[in-house]
């Protein structure tokens, strides 16, 4: 992305692009929406067969793929809808409460 | 050299001719009385290959404006037309078009809103949309409907404006009645209207963009609205300059506020649209017997011509505002509110009386207008006596 919109929170009325335009594509990557999540999908790499059915079903492009293999979940954009958990034929994805997940995260950091 | 064809044309027909001559890229539209003739006529132009327009017969007015927004954002010169319930059905989209600063041109055949169902002329539909951010012209007759529509492209697409424009004509009285009209030759009009050269296009994949981004991010909603207000302010001198240019070509005078007799008038009626002629006829007859009466008619309602109106009403001792749209529960009709605010700002303390007339196409007779001029003779005393209602209905049973 080449459009520099840094400092946009200080833009005055005459600095905002006409019609509130976004002058570049893919700006959603910079817009973190994962904190809307109430439940979090957890990926079990042992059970995963790399079928990528979760990747096909995710409505928010939050299944991260590298070299044609799933390599993680983009928690900055995942809304916790749970579609991937239902779609997975191998039980490699499960939902836990976001609250519990955050406590686990904190323990890991400690 | 400009060549003029004189014809018996209806307002709708003349708007369709103006659309044809502007040769829009896209025209998404849904037919509704009394705008239907515009669509029928333009349909023919498409079928005959006289325009290069992509004609999109959509399934509703909501879709018509949605398609117009998409087309305009893609960089196309975009046109549509509607009336009444159709305009109401477009409501949320009107604000989107204006907020995204898309120079769509739309003709509205002003008509009453249901209920009760009524297909006839009044200003309920268009004045309900007064805050949507659209520039608004009010044509007095078919000729003005044609002229306004041509000028609208120049104003809407001006880089300092970039706002949608609604050119309006009163249902049936102007949209359907045949009048003597002058149609300018295609070449002269094409030169006047010019080509639309958009700065951005949604279809430009080398420079990806989107419109109307989520304003919560940088919290810039207020700034965007202020930019729209500034654009409206800039639009007024451009509306006038474009009007002068068309006046030089067509020979027909253009004023955002038309006046009759105001140089010495003590009693003045303020009006918009097709009833202007009736008011002028009554004023003319009264002036011939020495009565100092005048008429002020707004050809442009958005941006509101505050300065021009204040100047026109400077000498008035009593003013009547003729409202053709209800603001049920409001202190007065929409035009009265604007006129009153304008007079207050100008320090003009002349008494003003609001009249509700012609709703749902109710007859606007010369007697009715004569009555209003008569009322004004004693307005100051009547107001002091407390006998003047907030809104006076005229022409009802």
pLDDT tens sequence across B59-109: 999 999 999 999 999 999 999 999 999 999 999 999 999 999 999 999 999
pLDDT of residue B217: 55
* Ramachandran angles phi, psi of B197, nearest 5°: -115, 90
Domain extents in chain A: 35-109
* Ramachandran angles phi, psi of B309, nearest 5°: -70, -45
Q: Which residues of B touch A31 (CB under 8 A)?
A: 214, 217
**Structural contact between residues B64 and B108, judged by C-beta atoms closer than 8 angstroms:** no
Rounded to a whole number of angstroms, the distance from the CA of A91 to the nearest CA of chain B is 37
Asked if B209's CB is within 8 angstroms of A22's CB, the reply is yes
Q: Which residues of A touch B209 (CB under 8 A)?
A: 21-25
Domain B4-250 has CATH 3.20.20.80: no
Residue A48's Cβ-side half-sphere holds a number of Cα atoms within 13 Å equal to: 18
Chain position carrying tokens 């006829």: B281
Q: How many helices (H) and strands (E) does chain B have?
A: 14, 15
- Could you tell me the pTM of the whole model? 0.92
Q: Which residue of A has its CA nearest to B229?
A: A13
Q: How many CB pairs under 8 A join A and B?
A: 63
Interface test with B, best of A19, A24, A29, A35 (most B CBs within 10 A): A19
Q: At what angle do helices B142-156 and B11-22 cross, to 10 degrees?
A: 30
**A28 at B interface, C-beta within 8 A:** no
Pairing mode of beta strands B165-170, B105-110: parallel
Asked if B224's CB is within 8 angstroms of A16's CB, the reply is yes
**Structural contact between residues B39 and B225, judged by C-beta atoms closer than 8 angstroms:** no
Query: If you classify domain A35-109 with CATH, what class do you get?
Result: alpha beta
**A71 at B interface, C-beta within 8 A:** no
* Ramachandran angles phi, psi of B158, nearest 5°: -65, 130
Tokens of B225: 């609205």
Nearest by CB to residue A20, choosing from B200, B211, B219, is: B211
Give the rounded percent of residues in chain B with a pLDDT score beyond 90: 97
Average pLDDT over residues A15-42: 88
Q: Which residues of A touch B201 (CB under 8 A)?
A: none
Q: Which residues of B touch A12 (CB under 8 A)?
A: 223
**A19 at B interface, C-beta within 8 A:** yes
Tokens of B129: 């949309």
DSSP classification of residue A98: H
- Note the Cα B75 to chain centre separation in Å: 24
**A110 has a pLDDT exceeding 80:** no
**A33 at B interface, C-beta within 8 A:** no
Q: What is the rounded distance in angstroms from the CA atom of residue B150 to the CA atom of residue B194? A: 10
Nearest by CB to residue A22, choosing from B210, B227, B230, is: B210
Rounded to a whole number of angstroms, the distance from the CA of A107 to the nearest CA of chain B is 32
Average pLDDT over residues B270-275: 98
Tokens of B265: 């008038």
Q: Which residues of B touch A21 (CB under 8 A)?
A: 200, 209-213
Asked if B102's CB is within 8 angstroms of A19's CB, the reply is yes
Asked if A18's CB is within 8 angstroms of B101's CB, the reply is yes
Q: Which residue of A has its CA nearest to B210?
A: A22
User: Domain B257-393 falls in which CATH fold?
Assistant: Rossmann fold (3.40.50)
Asked if B217's CB is within 8 angstroms of A19's CB, the reply is no
Average pLDDT over residues A85-95: 98
Give the closest residue to B316 by CA, choosing from B295, B285, B345, B287: B295
Rounded to a whole number of angstroms, the distance from the CA of B296 to the nearest CA of chain A is 35
Tokens of B15: 């708007």
Q: What is the rounded distance in angstroms from the CA atom of residue A76 to the CA atom of residue A94? A: 18
pLDDT of residue B1: 67
Asked if B209's CB is within 8 angstroms of A13's CB, the reply is no
Q: What is the rounded distance in angstroms from the CA atom of residue B229 to the CA atom of residue B103? A: 15
Q: Which residues of A touch B222 (CB under 8 A)?
A: 13
* Ramachandran angles phi, psi of B220, nearest 5°: -115, 25
**Structural contact between residues B73 and B104, judged by C-beta atoms closer than 8 angstroms:** no
pLDDT of residue B375: 98
Rounded to a whole number of angstroms, the distance from the CA of A29 to the nearest CA of chain B is 13
**A103 at B interface, C-beta within 8 A:** no
Model confidence band, residue A78 (pLDDT cutoffs 50, 70, 90): very high
Domain extents in chain B: 4-250, 257-393
Coil, strand or helix at A43? strand
From the number of C-beta atoms within 10 Å of its C-beta (0-12, 13-18, 19+), residue A100 rates as exposed
Nearest by CB to residue B217, choosing from A13, A19, A31, is: A31
Average pLDDT over residues A2-18: 88
**B319 has a pLDDT exceeding 80:** yes
Q: CA geometry: angle at B9 spanning B5 and B12, to 5°?
A: 125
Q: Is the dihedral of CA B137, B70, B91, B31 positive or negative?
A: positive
Average predicted confidence (pLDDT) for chain B = 97
Interface test with A, best of B156, B208, B222, B231 (most A CBs within 10 A): B208
Q: Provide Rg for chain B, Cα atoms.
A: 21
pLDDT of residue B357: 98
Question: Rounded to whole angstroms, what are the CA distances from B322 to B175, B274, B363, B379?
Answer: 20, 12, 14, 15
Nearest by CB to residue B208, choosing from A8, A19, A24, is: A24
Q: Is the dihedral of CA B276, B277, B282, B285 positive or negative?
A: positive
Nearest by CB to residue A8, choosing from B100, B101, B218, is: B218
Q: Using omega within 30 degrees of 0 as the cis cutoff, is the peptide bond preceding B34 cis?
A: yes
Q: What is the rounded distance in angstroms from the CA atom of residue B162 to the CA atom of residue B142? A: 26
Tell me which of A3-7, A40-44, B173-177, B240-244 is least confident.
A3-7
Asked if A14's CB is within 8 angstroms of B211's CB, the reply is no
- Quickly list H helices, chain B: 11-22, 36-47, 61-73, 84-89, 91-99, 124-128, 142-156, 186-193, 221-250, 276-288, 306-312, 334-345, 366-377, 379-385
**A22 at B interface, C-beta within 8 A:** yes
Model confidence band, residue B212 (pLDDT cutoffs 50, 70, 90): confident
User: First-to-last CA distance in chain B?
Assistant: 54
Model confidence band, residue B195 (pLDDT cutoffs 50, 70, 90): very high
Tell me which of A98-102, B119-123, B263-267 is least confident.
A98-102
pLDDT of residue B396: 96
pLDDT of residue B220: 85
Tell me which of A5-19, B10-24, B236-250, B332-346 is least confident.
A5-19
Give the closest residue to A19 by CA, choosing from B200, B62, B151, B131: B200
Q: CA geometry: angle at B359 spanning B357 and B363, to 5°?
A: 70
């Amino acid at each position: 992305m080449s459009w520099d919109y840094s400092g946009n929170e200080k833009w005055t009325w005459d600095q905002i692009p006409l019609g509130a335009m976004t002058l570049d594509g893919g700006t959603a990557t910079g817009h973190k929406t994962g904190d809307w999540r109430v439940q979090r999908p957890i990926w079990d790499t042992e059970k995963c067969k790399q079928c990528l059915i979760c990747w096909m079903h995710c409505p928010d492009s939050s299944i991260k793929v590298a070299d044609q293999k799933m390599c993680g979940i983009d928690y900055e954009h995942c809304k916790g809808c749970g579609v991937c958990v239902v779609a997975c034929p191998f039980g490699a994805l499960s939902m836990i409460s976001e609250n519990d997940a955050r406590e686990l995260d904190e323990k890991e950091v400690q | 050299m400009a060549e003029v064809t004189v014809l018996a044309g209806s307002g709708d027909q003349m708007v369709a001719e103006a659309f044809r001559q502007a040769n829009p890229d896209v025209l998404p539209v849904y037919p509704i009385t009394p705008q239907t003739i515009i669509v029928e006529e333009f349909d023919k132009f498409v079928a005959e290959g006289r325009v290069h327009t992509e004609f999109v017969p959509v399934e509703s007015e909501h879709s018509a404006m949605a398609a117009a927004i998409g087309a305009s954002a893609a960089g196309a010169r975009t046109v549509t037309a509607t009336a009444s319930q159709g305009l109401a059905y477009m409501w949320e989209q009107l604000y989107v078009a204006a907020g995204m600063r898309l120079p769509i041109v739309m003709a509205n055949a002003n008509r009453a809103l249901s209920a009760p169902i009524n297909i006839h002329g009044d200003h309920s539909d268009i004045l309900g949309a007064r805050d949507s951010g659209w520039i608004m012209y009010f044509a007095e007759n078919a000729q003005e409907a044609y002229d306004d529509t041509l000028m609208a492209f120049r104003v809407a697409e001006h880089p300092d404006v970039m706002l949608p424009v609604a050119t309006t004509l009163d249902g049936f009285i102007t949209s359907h009645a045949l009048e003597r009209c002058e149609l300018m030759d295609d070449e002269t009009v094409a030169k006047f209207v010019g080509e639309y050269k958009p700065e951005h296009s949604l279809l430009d994949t080398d420079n990806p963009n989107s419109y109307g981004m989520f304003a919560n991010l940088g919290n810039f909603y207020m700034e965007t609205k202020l930019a729209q207000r500034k654009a409206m302010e800039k639009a007024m001198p451009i509306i006038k300059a474009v009007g002068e240019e068309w006046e030089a070509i067509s020979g027909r005078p253009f004023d955002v506020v038309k006046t009759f007799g105001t140089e010495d008038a003590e009693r003045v009626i303020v009006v918009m649209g097709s009833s202007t002629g009736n008011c002028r006829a009554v004023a003319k007859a009264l002036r011939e017997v020495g009565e100092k009466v005048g008429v002020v008619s707004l050809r442009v309602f958005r941006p509101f011509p505050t300065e021009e109106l204040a100047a026109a009403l400077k000498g008035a001792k009593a003013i009547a505002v003729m409202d053709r749209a209800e603001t049920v529960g409001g202190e007065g009709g929409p035009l009265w509110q604007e006129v009153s605010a304008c007079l207050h700002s100008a320090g003009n303390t002349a008494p003003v009386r609001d009249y509700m007339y012609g709703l749902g196409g109710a007859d606007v007779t010369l007697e009715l207008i004569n009555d209003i001029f008569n009322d004004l003779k004693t307005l100051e005393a009547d107001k002091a006596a407390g006998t003047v209602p907030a809104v006076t209905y005229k022409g009802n049973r």
